[in-house]
Amino acid sequence: MESEKRQLAAASSFRKGNEAISKENWDYAIEMYGQAAMFDPSNLFYRQTLRGTETKKYNNNGTGAKMAVVKLVGIKGRIKKAKVTNNWTAVNQTAEEGLILNPWDAQMNADIGEACRNLGYTKVAVFGYQKAVACDPDNKRFNQALAELLEERGDFSDAGKVWEKICKIDPLDGEARSKLQQIAATEVLDRGGYADADTAKGTMAAHEVAKRLKIEQSGAADGPGMSEEADLLHALRKAPDSYEGYLKIAGFYKRAGKLEQAAEMLKKALDLSGDETGIREQLEDVELDQLRREHELAKETTTVEPDNSEAKQKAGELEKQLLRREIEVFRTRIKTYPADLRLKWDLGQRLMRVKKYEQAIPLIQQCVKDTRLECKALSALGKCFLKEKKGNLARRQFEKAVPKLNQNDEPELFLEVHYWLGRLCDEAGDVDAAEDHYGEVLVVDYEYQDARERLENMQAS
């Protein structure tokens, strides 16, 4: 159920990206394609489209945004921290954030490859390493990682070409030469159908093939390689005091949607690691996902049973519980990552929902520095100042937002800002400005709230 919802959300974001592309609105297209890639991280086509759009935004200049090197310092620091704790989901997401600024950064493309390889998204992993190699062709480390991954996937011909390239980069690399010879032999066996045989004298018997297919479908396993879960548990039994094993099995459970099992394994990993920050964050994310799932199920129940008062009460309680927990988690994260404006924006939004406007204002003010958040942040500040009964400050924020508004990209934000400016100008006695703002609203949505009634009353008086 959850995976289907994520795929539907991904498809919806992808469609919005396509619409933005038709208008050459690169920033919004990149945002939507990025959302699609995060909702469905194993989808290769989403990644390819995202990267292609990023390069178009910068007219294929090969360097990305101005001052990208400086802007990427903090992002690369977060990637390194996530790698230390094997938080591959965070590595994947943060590297994608960095590639928005410079899609030609070889290391961050390689980070995508490494993260997706560990998460099991091997097609995307190959794409990441291929991009890294394209950006830095003579980087032996990137080429080697690509060759190994291609070999794991059974793409022996392509793997052989990369090993051959490594031999040219470093003629003294005996391992690369040996690998090239092994690949040639393996490719011959693979073409002959011997790769899965017990010996090179014959291919796998039909009953053995049927047995493996049955195991894959049932989830049972009686030997290595037949079940990822069984292999991970077996590795865990061999090294019960190592937290890495618990992290790997937790990642498997999370990808499979088994959040309770994932949380249990992460708790054990956290204890063994001595309360590592990255592992604690992974556990918090899983616990939040559990709460979100419970809340969604409760909301679905109220939709199916609109007269069920108990279901409504439960959905409301879960929503409050989720909101409280998100605020706790985001407060802690901001202390760890003080430069992360997206975190501050998320926390500010939650604080607004619980009417803690004084606490939300300084967080959202910092978000104005991010061009992707600037317009939304100015509008949010305006609403906060309205709630604090500081009309002049609210008006200034809304007026700053106006030049950055685009009614086609964000119609709701456009309407909201002009509506409130209309009311504030009216209250201040600035009739001409109020008429202009109400007019902007009515041109887009003639029935928006009470804008038409207010305009008519103002003109009549």
Is the pLDDT score of 225 beyond 70?
no
DSSP 173: -
> Are the folds of 243-336 and 355-460 the same?
yes
C-alpha 123/C-alpha 117 separation (Å) is: 9
Is the pLDDT score of 14 beyond 80?
yes
Q: Where are the domains of the chain?
A: 2-187, 209-238, 243-336, 355-460
Is the pLDDT score of 226 beyond 80?
no
**From the DSSP assignment, how many helices (H) and strands (E) are in the chain?**
23, 0
- The whole-number pLDDT of residue 183 equals 67
C-alpha 249/C-alpha 228 separation (Å) is: 9
CATH architecture of 355-460: Alpha Horseshoe (1.25)
Distances from the Cα of 37 to the Cα of 54, 87, 124, angstroms: 14, 18, 10
- The whole-number pLDDT of residue 212 equals 38
Q: CATH classification of 2-187 is 1.10.530.10, yes or no?
A: no
Stretch 369-396: mean pLDDT: 92
Cβ contacts of 20-23, under 8 Å, gap ≥ 24: 20/409, 21/53, 23/408
- Work out the mean pLDDT of the chain and round it to a whole number: 85
Is the pLDDT score of 188 beyond 90?
no
Residue 410 half-sphere exposure, CB side, CA atoms within 13 Å? 20
- The whole-number pLDDT of residue 388 equals 93
**Per-residue pLDDT reduced to its tens digit, 282-340:** 899 899 989 988 988 888 888 888 888 888 999 999 999 999 999 999 999 898 888 88
The fold for domain 243-336 equals 1.25.40
Place of tokens 């990206």: 17
Is the pLDDT score of 110 beyond 90?
yes
Is the pLDDT score of 142 beyond 50?
yes
